[in-house]
Amino acid sequence: MAIPYKHLQIRTDDGVQLAVQSVGSGPPILMANGIGVRFTGLRPVVERLWPDHRVILWDYRGIGGSRLNHARVDLSIQRHARDGLAILDRLGIDRAVVLGWSMGVPVGLEMIRLASERVAGYGALFGAPGKPFKAGFPLPVALGIQALFRLSQTVPIPAQLLLDLGVALPRVTFALLSAIRFVGRDADREVFEQNVRGIAQVPKRPYFQTMVGLASHDARDVLGRVRCPVLVVAGTRDWLTPPSAAREMAQAIPDAELLLLRGATHFGLIEKVEVLMEAIARLLERSASE
């Protein structure tokens, strides 16, 4: 059954039109997605949440329906967090549980930095609190990845060709990426292929500009000040944002719950959905009682 989203356009204070998706009614949940991925990438989670909650998502600026109005638009993680708060403002929502996946993890932390009183609970799903590539790779490799992102921002054609090839050969792409444990073999194939197609369609200059900003962003100084209920989730096979990054978060945040999903990769939310949803239900229950 298709999720009956309401599609909205919300204008930010710097003139960017954000594409926002809302579904359901009840206690609000704001979901911050992974970089380049649209609302369809969180379908297995949303379809289990919306019957009892109001679930709100948005396309990050420069992604999907959130078109940039000029070339020098702010694409920092802090700006994405302000966009999340602006969406709550526009929808008349004072407080919401924030669930962030991948890049959505630092976006959520920046929302807490800016307006902690508006975050009723926080779920950090398969992400890192700061400098994620240094968390997942040896320093020389991490620096090389960042340099590659800067180059791709200027010369995006090679990256675009690889993505187009991935779209053209979905079975081969999935086989290769699951072989290197980028995604698990038990992932929802339809959702994963939608994600690949979506990223292939993203304008590459803002995409890699955002990626460069993500690589250098650090919100670890916020962790000790988080006071809302928190769930931190990592996959034991996630080499992009490894369990060590999740343990760091959980140890630094007072009373955080840590869940390590055995066998899950960075895409654990479309691999181990039922176990993940049990943990999210506990977070929502704790958040409602605060």
Asked if 55 and 99 count as a contact pair (C-beta separation under 8 A), the reply is: no
Rounded percentage of the chain residues whose pLDDT exceeds 70: 99
Q: Which residue has the higher pLDDT, 217 or 69?
A: 217
Produce one character per residue of 242-275: b if its CB has 16 or more CB atoms within 10 Å, e if not.
bbebbebbbebbeebbbbbbeebbbbbbbbbbee
Q: Is the pLDDT of residue 261 over 90?
A: yes
Produce one character per residue of 81-103: b if its CB has 16 or more CB atoms within 10 Å, e if not.
bbbbbbbbeebebebbbbbbbbb
Range in 36-45, 83-92, 103-112 with the lowest mean pLDDT: 36-45
Q: Is the pLDDT of residue 116 over 90?
A: yes
Rounded average pLDDT over 71-89: 95
The single-letter code of the amino acid at 228 is C
Q: How do residues 139-193 score in pLDDT, each as one tens digit?
A: 777 678 777 777 777 777 778 888 788 888 889 999 999 999 999 999 999 999 9
Q: Binning pLDDT at 50, 70 and 90, where does residue 233 land?
A: very high
Give the model's pLDDT for residue 166: 80
Q: What is the CATH number of domain 6-288?
A: 3.40.50.1820
0.75 exceeded by the pTM? yes
Sorted by where each begins, the domain ranges of the chain are 6-288
